[in-house]
């Protein structure tokens, strides 16, 4: 079915989420990112429980941002203590504090010499077969760890806080677009932010799990991986640009995904949302995006 | 970076040293924002990390040219530029540093997180507090809708915050400027009491409306070293556009920020200041010029044709008779008549016919892209939106309307969803009529027209109200009715009925979840009204439903706990508030929607504040007084509550006359400066309501038209 695009791929920025949509289901990419079609069905069940969990995840990210910005730990702990209902959040916070106190392989991260950049964004341009396409990412925490005798050079860490309920396997994480996009972008575009040249061999992506603080998933980066990711992402950008002209965005063959996609009714791929607990497929974001309450004030024109 | 087509003076601004503090002023259309955008790209090109640059505008839409430039894939790689409004920045800082200031700012529960209120939810809380006072006689001499009372009290609080005076002085300032009926003094007293009550309630419950966010930022965060250093360190390069539309508080902060910034570019639009009803203050913005070492003035209009420029100057002279402005000879502009075309008719519908025909001619015969045409009026009532939209559709011209304050509750999709919600929640005891059901079914069921919907409703609507469970099934109605409705549509009705009935027997869900489920499981499924599936079909049902759901969700997140404690149903409360007009379910996302290839129908101020020039403008209702007059706002006053008003001075008829004149001048000239090739005037002897109209804008154009007649005589 041909559907004319509204926004063109080189008119907006791609990110790990949109690229994940594209590799999961090209139709979803078309509807969500090119047509920007609002389709507010339930994503997964139980809806209320999922919402609560996602809110807790969002608050955890915010809490860590506050802490990294210098809000005293005691104040943040006092605030959590005042809300007994936020059980998950409190547990994650305690796990985080414990990990900070006993960081094992990450001792340098919490030393005063480390430079921390919480909630920063980077962008760079992909080569879509001669046409530029923009790629962006927002990082939970970037850290520059000074060189040690052991490392011989500075280390650049990307910390990503994960509050998923079920543990995410290494192979699953390895296949996610985030695992490609984050270290690639830091290697490509980090120099101006960090004020030093970035060698991909210095970079490491760390998924830190709030439920399993002592078992982070670590993905060291390398020059070879950088070149491979660059090729892959450029090819993806080229493909996207070509497809948008052909308006060829087929539905996924893996119909299990549709149970967790809000467009299922538009694509005639089901009525009810799937149960999150039974999902074998990650449904996308594991926390809610920031709610933008900023508004244009107006009167009754 | 493409700088080839830029003018010399633009290049001079753009290429200023990386530590320059620049003040750039000029009229609309003189290339200031283009210079601002290119300066931004230049800074990045010269090695300034994007993350160190803050683009500050008074309204998010005004940052669109900067955001568009940053989306261009070739922009330098690195950290990303921040675009923000002061309100947005304040909210982010409050959210980030809340634990450090919640107690000293006077919140009763400093260990609890803050709840940020939207305009809607602030209005809801205001209604919650003020409604009982109305029953006690507050505002008894004021005859306006209640929701407008609430919004004006909120507006007063916002003005106090952005102008920078204590909210406790609102009543006193308004009273001091009043010289009419003494009853009005009591109104101002009541307005003050309600504002104070609202503020107290917010502090007790950790609620932060816009005014409180801004005040906390101003009084507690900006003076706090941690916050200030974070901002000053993060953003060392400032680009501030449309400073004339920003508030005195923003200007105060900038005055303190600029000395610490490595570079700055402040852009000031002369003859503007359209947002003064929102507290904007062009005068205080202009004072920032003194803090800049480099001053540039762009005077040449780069947008309008010589004829349009000549017309603009004629208008300027009429508005400023004492100024004795000379009409500059525009190269190539012998006459102004090519720029101005009156479309006259006796009756309003005839005038609309002419407007639609002229637009069709421009698009079809002259090849003008539809998005290069706008139709403007001081207001855009639904009747005008519909009647002109229909005429354009008949002419084969795509059109879109944009009225940002058009409430969602005016949309048929919203009516449908709320009617079905009332059916699914019989315990709310908010019955719907047979008529409302018929309309809801027309929206819900693809292919069902109003005639068959009415036949269906006559047969299935229950005698006594019991919600969806009381609706008869399609099988229970007479065979004749079944035949007329058709079994295909009957089956769809059955599916919807069973879904609603089943839901109505189960425990009540959060209202936004109910709407999502209704949308996803029924209304957007194949065979139902919201399932539109081709390239030509209108997919707005999904957008409107999403907007409504978001409105409900924000309402639940801010008022849910309070309602749960009182045992009230949030869904019922929301529906009632919408019915009462307290919650308009307004939504702003569409404001920023991508530009469609369609003629835009919009209120004049909306178009101005989008700051987008077009080739042709059509102005309707030229005889209306609304082009110049302020809205009737008995609880507030944009001039008296401004920083420029001397406390205690009385607002008199001369002030009002002068304000109207300035308003009209700013509006008319602002529109013309965003017009490239031609202005069409829709003139009818009788207005939409059938009355003759002789407003001041008409008088101005009569003088211009006389000039055109003289030109014609002179040959």
> Which pLDDT tens digit goes with each residue over B682-691?
988 877 777 7
Highest mean pLDDT among A129-138, B251-260, B619-628: B251-260
Rounded Cα gap, residues B477 and A261, in angstroms: 38
Give the closest of B520, B545, B606 to A301, CB-based: B606
Structure tokens at B261: 């910034």
- Tell me the chain B residues in contact with residue A37 when contact means C-beta distances shorter than 8 Å: 539, 542-543
Confidence band for B709, pLDDT divided at 50, 70 and 90: confident
Residue B701, pLDDT > 70, answer yes
Is the CB of A300 inside 8 Å of chain B's CB atoms?
yes
- What is the distance in angstroms between the Cα of A283 and the nearest Cα belonging to chain B? 17
Q: What is the DSSP letter of B330?
A: P
Q: What is the pLDDT of residue B381?
A: 83
| Contact A193/B at CB under 8 A | yes
Give A296: exposed, middle or buried? Use CB within 10 Å, 0-12, 13-18, 19+. Answer: buried
pLDDT tens figures, B185-201: 999 999 999 999 999 99
Q: Which of residues 256-295 of A touch B (CB under 8 A)?
A: 262, 264-266, 268, 271-273, 291, 293-295
- Contact list, A300 vs chain B (CB under 8 Å): 148, 405, 631
Range with the lowest mean pLDDT among A3-12, B73-82, B349-358, B594-603? Answer: A3-12
pLDDT band at B596 (very low <50, low <70, confident <90, very high): low
Query: Do the chains contact at B99 and A133, CB–CB below 8 Å?
Result: no
∠ Cα B629 B630 B631 (to 5°): 120
What would the two tokens of residue B527 be?
A: 């065979």
Using CB atoms, pick whichever of A11, A76, A192 lies closest to residue B78.
A192
Q: Are B529 and B523 in contact (CB under 8 A)?
A: yes
Residue B679 has pLDDT above 50, yes or no: yes
User: Strands A115-128 and A131-145: what pairing?
Assistant: antiparallel
* Mean pLDDT estimate for chain A: 87
Contact B80 A47 (CB under 8 A): no
Contact B614, B676 (CB under 8 A): yes
Q: What is the pLDDT, as a whole number, of residue A121?
A: 92
Q: What is the pLDDT of residues A42-54, one digit of tens each?
A: 999 999 999 998 8
CA dist list (Å): B209 to B59, B64, B157, B212, B563: 17, 25, 9, 5, 19
The conformation of residue B481, written as its DSSP 8-state character, comes to H
Per-residue pLDDT reduced to its tens digit, B428-477: 999 999 999 999 999 999 999 999 999 999 999 988 888 999 999 999 99
A14-42+108-242+257-278 has which fold? Lambda Exonuclease; Chain A (3.90.320)
What is the C-alpha separation between A206 and A99, in angstroms, rounded? 14
Q: What is the pLDDT of residues B246-273, one digit of tens each?
A: 999 999 999 999 999 999 999 999 988 7
- For tokens 């009715």, name the residue: B481
Q: Which residues of A touch B519 (CB under 8 A)?
A: 40-41
Find out whether A257 and A24 touch, Cβ atoms under 8 Å: yes
Helix residue spans in B594-695 (DSSP H): 604-610, 653-672
Does residue B592 carry a pLDDT above 70? no
For B306-404+593-714, CATH number out of 1.20.120.1200, 3.30.1360.20, 3.40.50.150, 3.40.50.300 equals 3.40.50.300
Q: Who's near B297: CB < 8 A, 6+ residues apart? A: B24, B25, B26
Residues 6+ apart with CB under 8 A from B669: B271, B312, B315, B316, B319
Structure tokens at B258: 């600029």
* pLDDT number for residue B705: 81
With CB atoms and an 8 Å threshold, state whether B521 touches A271: yes
> What chain B residue is nearest to A120 in terms of C-alpha separation?
B79
Return mean pLDDT, chain B: 90
- The answer to whether A296 contacts B61, with C-beta atoms less than 8 Å apart, is yes
d(CA A110, CA A116): 9
Residue B268: beta bridge partners?
B25
Q: How close B284 gets to chain A, by Cα (Å)? A: 20
Q: Tell me: pLDDT of B276 over 50.
A: yes
* Terminal-residue alpha carbon distance, chain B: 48
> How far away is chain A from the Cα of B405, in angstroms, using its nearest Cα?
6
Rounded (5°) CA angle B179-B184-B187: 140
Contact A265 B379 (CB under 8 A): no
- Phi–psi pair at B533, nearest 5 degrees: -135, 10
Two tokens at B230?
């974070």
- To the nearest whole Å, the CA of B351 is away from the closest chain A CA by 22
Q: Which of B112, B524, B539 sits opposite A41 (nearest CB)?
A: B524
| Residue A39 contacts B, CB cutoff 8 Å | yes
Residue A153: pLDDT above 50? yes
B642-653: average pLDDT: 92
Among A14, A142, A233, A300, the strongest candidate for a mutation testing the B interface, having the largest count of B CBs within 10 A, is A300
Give the whole-angstrom CA distance, residue B235 versus residue B55: 9
- Smallest CA-to-CA distance from B639 within B278, B322, B385 is with B278
CB contact under 8 A, B75 and A193: no
Res B507: pLDDT: 94
Residue B321 is predicted with a pLDDT of 63
Contact B100 A71 (CB under 8 A): yes
Asked if A78's CB is within 8 angstroms of B96's CB, the reply is no
How many CB atoms neighbour CB A190 within 10 A?
A: 28
What DSSP letter does each residue of B125-184 carry, written as one string? HHHHHHHHHHHTTTTTT--S-HHHHHHHHHHHHHHHHHHTS-GGGHHHHHHHT--S-THH
A285 has pLDDT over 50: no
Contact (CB<8Å) B96/A71: yes
Sign of CA dihedral A264, A269, A274, A280: negative
The SS3 assignment for B271 reads: coil
Residue of A nearest to B49 (CA): A192
DSSP state of B523: I
Q: Chain A residue closest to B377 (CA)?
A: A301
Per-residue pLDDT reduced to its tens digit, B288-342: 999 999 999 999 888 999 999 989 988 888 887 654 444 555 555 556 667 899 9
Q: In which residue are the tokens 């009273």 written?
A: B175
Indicate the domain borders of chain B. 8-89+222-297, 115-205, 306-404+593-714, 408-587
The Cα of B463 is separated from the nearest Cα of chain A by a number of Å equal to 32
Decide: B288 and B244 in contact? Cβ < 8 Å.
no
Cβ-based contacts under 8 A for chains A and B = 190
Short-list B515, B637, B634, CA closest to B585: B515
Do residues B30 and B273 lie in contact, with contact meaning Cβ atoms separated by under 8 Å?
A: no
Cβ-defined contact of A72 to B59 (cutoff 8 Å):
no
- In angstroms, the separation between the Cα of residue A108 and the nearest Cα of chain B is 24
Q: At the top level of CATH, which class does the domain B8-89+222-297 belong to?
A: alpha beta
Q: Give dist(CA B620, CA B355) in Å, integer.
A: 9
pLDDT mean over B605-619: 90
B549 interaction partners in chain A (CB closer than 8 Å): 40
């Amino acid at each position: 079915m041909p559907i004319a695009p509204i926004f063109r791929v080189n008119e907006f920025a791609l990110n790990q989420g949109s690229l994940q949509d594209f590799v999961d289901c090209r139709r979803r990419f078309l509807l969500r990112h090119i047509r920007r079609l609002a389709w507010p069905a339930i994503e997964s069940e139980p809806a209320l429980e999922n919402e609560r969990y996602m809110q807790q995840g969002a608050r955890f990210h915010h809490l860590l941002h506050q802490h990294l910005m210098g809000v005293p730990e005691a104040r943040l702990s006092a605030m959590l203590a005042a809300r007994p209902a936020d059980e998950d959040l409190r547990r994650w916070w305690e796990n985080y504090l414990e990990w900070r106190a006993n960081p094992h392989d990450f001792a340098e991260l919490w030393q005063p010499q480390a430079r921390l950049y919480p909630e920063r964004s980077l962008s760079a341009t992909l080569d879509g077969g001669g046409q530029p396409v923009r790629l962006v990412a927002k990082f939970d925490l970037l850290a520059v760890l000074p060189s040690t005798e052991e490392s011989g050079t500075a280390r650049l860490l990307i910390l990503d806080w994960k509050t998923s309920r079920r543990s995410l396997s290494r192979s699953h994480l390895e296949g996610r677009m985030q695992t490609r996009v984050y270290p690639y972008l830091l290697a490509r575009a980090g120099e101006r932010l960090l004020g030093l040249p970035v060698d991909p061999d210095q970079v490491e992506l760390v998924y830190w799990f709030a439920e399993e603080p002592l078992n982070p998933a670590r993905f060291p980066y390398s020059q070879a991986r950088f070149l491979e990711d660059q090729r892959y992402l450029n090819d993806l950008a080229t493909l996207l640009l070509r497809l948008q002209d052909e308006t060829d965005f087929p539905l996924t063959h893996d119909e299990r995904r549709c149970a967790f996609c809000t467009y299922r009714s538009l694509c005639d791929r089901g009525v009810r949302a799937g149960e999150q607990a039974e999902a074998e497929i990650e449904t996308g974001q594991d926390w809610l995006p920031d709610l933008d309450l900023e508004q244009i004030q107006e009167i009754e024109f | 970076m493409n700088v080839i087509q830029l003018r010399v003076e633009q290049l001079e601004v753009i290429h200023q040293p990386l530590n320059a503090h620049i003040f750039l002023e000029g009229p609309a259309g003189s290339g200031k924002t283009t210079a601002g955008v290119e300066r931004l790209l230049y800074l990045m090109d010269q090695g300034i990390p994007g993350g160190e640059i803050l683009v500050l505008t008074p309204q998010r839409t005004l940052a669109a040219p900067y955001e568009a430039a940053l989306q261009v894939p070739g922009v330098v790689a690195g950290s990303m530029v921040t675009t923000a409004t002061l309100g947005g920045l304040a909210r982010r800082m409050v959210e980030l540093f809340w634990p450090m200031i919640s107690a000293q700012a006077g919140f009763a529960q400093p260990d609890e997180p803050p709840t940020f209120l939207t305009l809607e939810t602030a209005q809801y809380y205001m209604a919650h507090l003020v409604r009982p006072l109305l029953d006690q006689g507050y505002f008894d001499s004021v005859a306006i809708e209640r929701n407008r009372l609430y919004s004006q009290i909120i507006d007063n609080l916002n003005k106090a915050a952005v102008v920078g005076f204590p909210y406790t002085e609102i009543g006193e300032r308004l009273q001091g400027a009043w010289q009419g009926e003494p009853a009005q003094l009591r109104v101002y007293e009541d307005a003050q009491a309600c504002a104070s009550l609202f503020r107290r309630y917010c502090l007790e419950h950790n609620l932060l409306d816009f005014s409180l966010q801004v005040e906390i930022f101003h009084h507690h965060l900006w003076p706090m070293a941690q916050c200030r250093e974070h901002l000053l360190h993060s953003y060392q390069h400032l680009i501030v556009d449309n400073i004339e539309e920003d508030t005195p508080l923003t200007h105060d902060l900038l005055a303190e920020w600029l000395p610490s910034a490595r570079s700055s570019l402040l852009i000031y639009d002369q003859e503007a200041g359209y947002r003064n009803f929102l507290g904007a203050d062009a005068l205080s913005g202009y004072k920032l010029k003194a803090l800049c070492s480099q001053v540039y003035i762009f005077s040449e209009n780069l947008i309008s044709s010589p004829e349009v420029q000549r017309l603009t100057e004629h208008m300027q002279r009429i508005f400023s008779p004492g100024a004795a402005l000379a009409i500059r000879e525009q190269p190539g502009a012998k006459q102004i008549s090519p720029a101005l075309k009156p479309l006259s008719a006796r009756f309003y519908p005839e005038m609309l016919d002419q407007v639609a025909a002229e637009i069709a001619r421009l698009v079809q015969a002259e090849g003008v892209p539809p998005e290069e045409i706008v139709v403007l009026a001081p207001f855009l009532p639904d009747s005008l939106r519909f009647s002109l939209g229909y005429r354009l559709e008949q002419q084969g011209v795509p059109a879109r309307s944009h009225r940002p304050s058009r409430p969602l509750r005016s949309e048929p999709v919203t009516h449908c969803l709320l009617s079905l919600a009332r059916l699914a929640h019989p315990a709310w005891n908010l019955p719907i009529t047979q008529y409302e059901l018929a309309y809801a079914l027309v929206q819900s069921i693809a292919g069902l027209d109003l005639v068959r919907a009415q036949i269906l409703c006559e047969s299935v609507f229950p005698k006594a109200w019991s919600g969806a469970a009381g609706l008869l099934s399609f099988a229970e109605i007479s065979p004749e009715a079944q035949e007329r409705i058709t079994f295909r549509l009957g089956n769809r009705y059955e599916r919807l009925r069973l879904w609603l009935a089943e839901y109505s027997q189960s425990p009540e869900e959060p209202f936004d979840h109910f709407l999502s489920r209704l949308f996803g499981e029924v209304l957007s499924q194949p065979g139902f009204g919201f399932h539109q599936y081709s390239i030509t079909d209108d997919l707005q049902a999904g957008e409107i439903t999403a907007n409504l759901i978001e409105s409900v969700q924000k309402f639940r997140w801010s008022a849910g706990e309070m309602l749960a404690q009182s045992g009230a149903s949030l869904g019922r409360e929301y529906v009632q508030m919408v019915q009462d007009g307290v919650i308009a379910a307004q939504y702003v996302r569409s404001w920023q929607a991508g530009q469609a290839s369609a003629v835009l129908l919009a209120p004049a101020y909306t178009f101005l504040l989008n700051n987008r020039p077009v080739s042709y403008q059509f102005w309707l209702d030229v005889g209306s007084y609304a082009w110049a007059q302020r809205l009737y706002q008995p609880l507030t006053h944009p001039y008296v509550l401004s920083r420029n008003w001397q406390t205690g001075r009385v607002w008199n008829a001369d002030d009002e006359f002068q304000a109207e004149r300035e308003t009209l001048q700013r509006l008319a000239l602002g529109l013309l400066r965003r017009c490239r090739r031609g202005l069409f005037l829709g003139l009818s002897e009788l207005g939409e309501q059938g009355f003759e109209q002789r407003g001041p804008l008409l008088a101005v154009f009569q003088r211009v038209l006389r000039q055109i007649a003289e030109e014609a005589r002179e040959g």
